[in-house]
Amino acid sequence: MNALRKFFKQHDVMSVNWNYALYMAENAEAWMQMQHLDEIFQTVLAGERLTDMDTKHFRATGQFRTDVPLERHISIAQQKLASIDRNLKAGGVRLHKTYRDAFYVAGLAMAEIQLEHPPPRKSRQKMKRFLEFLDQELNAFTPLLMHAAWLLFSNPPGKIRFFGGLQGTKNPLALVRNFSWDLQHWFWVQTAVSVPIRDGVFEIPLLMTFDKRFAEIVPALQARSFAICGRGNPQPIYPLDARDLVSLFTKDPNVQEVLFDPARVLARAERRTAANAELDGLIAAYETRLLERLRTAAASNHV
């Protein structure tokens, strides 16, 4: 954690008021049942406005401007909200299945790495293995997953209930699913941040995730990364730049260039597109290995 705090200080982390995101997190069940529709609608609407924002004007002035009439965005937001409503009422079985599977198998990978390399194995060695998993098996780099893994690996085992619970529960896979759901939910509710821009405040609420247009305006913002505020001390979430985050995990100067080489990134994207339908197989393999490791560990403890 000290390394993480130092990293955030070096990169000029800005504290952002995430009270709305905390509210959404606390009301996850109601959100899934499509209650609080006005808040969700306003979030979807703001995302539509951001999508059609004049990025050049924003970079030059810090002011929001779009040529698309508000009525048009309201209509689009209403249609999207109706679509979300239909999907959720249908049970949400297919809704974002790939994302759910990706976060679940990432949770399985974190658990396996921790069991395979128990303390005092250094957290950087575990992170190197997790980065290999993201690069070669999941074919995607999600800063939230990287940050979560770093916090898990760099804290004492007794401080992280997730790892301790794996060997103390009758249903470890359910524990991993709950853990991955928590991670995925934060991925969805990276929303409603208020970013100070010059003399004003620019509201950026997004329901599902940071979209491409938001990524384009990040360089114009007066910070490199965000942190949750409220409920005591600010809790850092993650830098927006995956390259910078990777530099925290490894001292090898070649790692960043290898992982983020344009050809490597393109190859990952191609593999990811082809592998989306194969996540079930990857999940099954990790579930089998995790259960076997837990059985072996339990047997050795009884010897």
DSSP letter string over 127-179? HHHHHHHIIIII----HHHHHHHHHHHHS-GGG-HHHHHHTT-S-HHHHHHHH
pTM given for the model = 0.60
Measure the CA–CA gap between 107 and 112, rounded to whole angstroms.
Answer: 9
Instruction: Answer yes or no: is 165 within a domain.
Output: yes
The total domain count for the chain is: 1
pLDDT at 78: 81
Type of residue numbered 243: R
Count CB atoms within 10 A of the CB of residue 84.
18
Q: Is 238 helix (H, G, I), strand (E, B) or coil?
A: strand
Contacts of 163 (CB under 8 A, 6+ apart): 111, 114, 152, 157
Instruction: Answer yes or no: is 44 within a domain.
Output: no
Instruction: Answer yes or no: is 82 within a domain.
Output: no
pLDDT at 267: 81
Measure the CA–CA gap between 248 and 7, rounded to whole angstroms.
Answer: 7
Measure the CA–CA gap between 156 and 244, rounded to whole angstroms.
Answer: 24
Instruction: Answer yes or no: is 185 within a domain.
Output: yes
Instruction: Answer yes or no: is 239 within a domain.
Output: yes
pLDDT at 113: 92
- Could you give the residue ranges of the DSSP H alpha helices within 19-96? 19-26, 28-32, 37-51, 55-61, 70-89
Instruction: Answer yes or no: is 281 within a domain.
Output: yes
Residue closest to 108 by CA, chosen among 301, 275, 279: 279
Query: Which DSSP state fits 35?
Result: -
Instruction: Answer yes or no: is 198 within a domain.
Output: yes
DSSP-derived pairing of the beta strands 200-204 and 14-16: unpaired
Instruction: Answer yes or no: is 122 within a domain.
Output: yes
Which residues span the domain enclosing 285? 1-21+95-303
Give the pLDDT means over successive 10-residue stretches in the chain (303 positions).
47 39 42 52 66 71 78 84 57 54 91 82 85 88 75 71 73 85 56 36 35 43 40 41 66 70 80 70 93 84 55
pLDDT at 76: 85
